[in-house]
Amino acid sequence: MALPPASNVFVGVDIGMTCTGVAFYVLDQIESGQPITPVIIQEWPGTGSRTITNKVPTTLAYKAGYGRPRSWGFECPSFENLGGGIGIIELFKFWLDPEVLRAHITAESKDAPEDIDVKKWFTDFLSALHKHIVAHLELPYWRVSRHSTKIEYIFGLPTMWGGRKEPIDDFKEIVKNAGFITSENCSVTFRLTEAEASAVYTAKSLKRKYKKGDTIIVCDAGGGTTDICALQVEHMEGEVINLLLLDEPTVLYVGSVQIDEAFKKHAEKCLNNIRLRKLIPELPEYVTHTMAKGTEFQTMKINYPEYSYPVARIPVPTTEARVDVTPDELKTMFDEQIGEILKHIDQRVLSLRQNKPELKSLFGSYTSFSLVALVPPGMSKQRLGNIIGTKAFQYYFLPIRRNCTFPAPFLILANRSHSPLAVCKGLVIDSTQRLCNGISAIPIRPYWVSYGILCSEPYDKNMPAEQRYATSRLDGEKYAINRIHWFIRYGEAAKEDEPIICKYFRMVSADDQRETWRSKVVKSSRPSNLLPEFLGQDGAEVISQIVSDSELSPDVTGTTTKRRYGLGKKREIKEYEILVFIEGTGPRFVSRVDGVERNLKTERVTSRGGRSVGDEEDSFQDGFFRNLL
């Protein structure tokens, strides 16, 4: 007798700069008291039926003149074997952020593709990835039905996007267009950053048993970036863990890609010397890129320091020449990257000790402090382990050891070959815990930017001289415009699913028949004590507008309406609440009138110099008022 389809499956997706990983967990397979053990997809097109590979390259191949990709992942040709008119698209993950893309084009214009359509590349890659995930889940063993099984796809957000709304919104739209929401039983979640997800998996998977108050710094070295996240264990019982972020997760441009870049510089220097001796002709600029991506150098890098040859000779395409790389030269390429990681960890620990004096584990107590390094094959465990005895590493540890009465902090090197896909596994663990236990692994989320809403307030002559004001045509009173009500400030924390409640007013004429209202949302990266009071002061940027509709109609039950007469006109003051839910993708807004809640749409706006493009007095005529009653 055939078993019924599975009820729920969680699928964690980690889109990496160089490779992408997928892990999933079928809820029906959970056993009471047993750990959640996500399964990795290890079979990919182009690898052969007997090859096990944890990740698929985040790569596309296009043929000139064709809009659809020719191949993706492992099916893409190598740089050494590109046919005529074939182009390889890779390393585009962070280009969805316009600022990163502009910086790349400015700095690396010679290497940038001529026709940059990052959204299309993302959509094409994720469409192919989605088809493969569905095909894998429908294998008989998993009992997943695309028609009846509830499938939740969980995507990690790049740590560097932080509070940047534009790339997050674009990413959410791309995921939708790629087919991940094809039916009512499919959903998509964006809750944790990649750094947070990696930390969740690390805390859950290590054999060490953490207890309340323990402090962990997780260092996840990836293909192109390294995420660093500091957390404290708030609660750990059985399979349930609650973590508290101690400061803002950060990302460093440190990783395997930077080692490739270091080799390219080395190769260019060697080739210039060869050219000076007129042994080879002038070569195209992409030659060193082809060499860095070639089999010879990648094999040497991934297997270092076990790579046994005293000198590696990397062939130069289309020539008989070769570029020599000694073990010491490769060691220097690794050490530059590892040195940056250690320097940042040192700064992070010092910052925590200065800014969080309540963290006894960093001063000396009976709780413990540990550093966990997740190391990919391109930055080998042994290479990082070898550097522990260096001056830089001792500088980091000695200040803590000298003044601590508890056992010295320790380093855990978790090689990715033994502990793969920390991000996508962490995403699955968090969502499974949330469903089964009613609480996520990081239930309280500090925010590392401040968010506010533009509003108007009764004008006070004691306000700053540059504060603009306008006179209402309804009551003849002066109102300060474009004031900012900061509903969450930098460093403040909000509990998951518990909204911040803000009370606002609308002031309209009695015959106003508008059904749609827009109010602008602003953000600032300034410290909470330096936030601007109004738009126009430095440090505030309009990022979106929330759109409300019928809850403001006069016939809505529960709307508080007060009629007053001013300048021969009748005005209405309508009072209601805005509920702000702080989520991984930013604030989500809900209006509440007489106990009835409605989700508010959020629209992107264009900003210029910190001010929204359009009528500066929108917040006075259309927006919120405060302190009217």
Q: What is the dihedral of CA 460, 465, 468, 472, to 10 degrees?
A: 30
pLDDT band for 211, please (50, 70, 90 cuts): confident
- Cα distance between residue 133 and residue 594, in whole Å: 45
Average pLDDT over residues 281-286: 70
Average pLDDT taken over every residue of the chain: 79
| SS3 annotation, 438-503 | CCCCCCEEECCCEEEEEEEEECCCCCCCCCCEEECCCCCCEEEEEEEEEEECCCCEEECCCCEEEE
What DSSP string describes 152-210? EEEEPBPGGGTT-HHHHHHHHHHHIIIII--STTEEEE---BHHHHHHHHHHHHSSS--
pLDDT single digits (tens) 1-26: 567 888 899 999 999 999 999 999 99
Domains of the chain: 8-189 (3.30.420), 200-421 (no CATH), 447-625 (no CATH)
* Nearest Cα residue to 359 out of 214, 196, 491: 214
CA atoms of 422 and 192, how far apart (whole Å)? 13
Strand partners, 446: 493
Give the pLDDT score at 172.
93
What pLDDT score was predicted for residue 409? 45
Q: What is the pLDDT of residue 390?
A: 35
Q: Which residue has the tokens 């957000």?
A: 157
Contact 199, 422 (CB under 8 A): no
Backbone angles phi, psi at 496, to 5 degrees: -60, 130
**pLDDT above 70 (res 99):** yes
Question: For residues 126 and 181, what is the distance between their CA atoms, to the nearest angstrom?
Answer: 12
Helix axes 256-276, 327-355, angle to 10 degrees: 140
Burial label for 369, CB within 10 Å (0-12, 13-18, 19+), is buried
Query: 568 versus 475: which is more confidently predicted?
Result: 475
458 with 258: CB under 8 angstroms?
A: no
Please report which confidence band the pLDDT of residue 560 belongs to, taking 50, 70 and 90 as the band edges: very low
Measured distance CA(376)–CA(417) in Å, rounded:
7
What percent of the chain is modeled with pLDDT above 90?
29
Name the band, by pLDDT with cuts 50, 70 and 90, for residue 513. Answer: low
Q: What is the pLDDT of residues 599-618, one digit of tens each?
A: 778 887 765 544 444 444 45
The pLDDT assigned to 433 comes to 92
pLDDT band, residue 533 (cuts 50/70/90): very high
pLDDT per residue as tens digits for the range 253-276: 888 889 999 999 999 888 887 765
Cα-based torsion angle of the residue sequence 276, 277, 282, 287 in order, rounded to the nearest 10 degrees: -90
Over residues 30-88, the pLDDT tens digits come to 666 678 889 999 999 998 766 778 999 999 999 988 889 999 999 999 877 777 788 89
Mean pLDDT of 232-244: 86
Q: How many CB atoms lie within 10 A of CB 494?
A: 19
* 423 pLDDT above the threshold of 90: yes
**Type of residue numbered 287:** V
Of residues 405 and 481, more confidence is placed in: 481
Integer Cα distance of 363 and 401 in angstroms: 9
What distance in Å separates the CA atoms of residue 341 and residue 343, rounded to the nearest whole number? 5
What is the per-residue pLDDT across 307-343, written as a single tens digit (0 to 9) for each?
Answer: 667 888 898 887 888 899 988 898 889 888 888 888 8
pLDDT tens, residue by residue, 383-421 = 444 443 333 333 333 333 344 333 334 444 444 444 568
- Residue pLDDT, tens place only, 129-180: 999 999 999 998 888 888 889 999 999 999 988 768 889 989 999 999 999 9
Q: Is 179 left (phi over 0), alpha (psi -120 to 50) or beta?
A: left
Number of C-beta neighbours around residue 534 at 10 A = 21
- Contact (Cβ atoms closer than 8 angstroms) between residue 487 and residue 528: no
Look up the pTM and report it.
0.83
Query: Is the bond preceding 554 in cis, omega lying within 30 degrees of 0?
Result: no
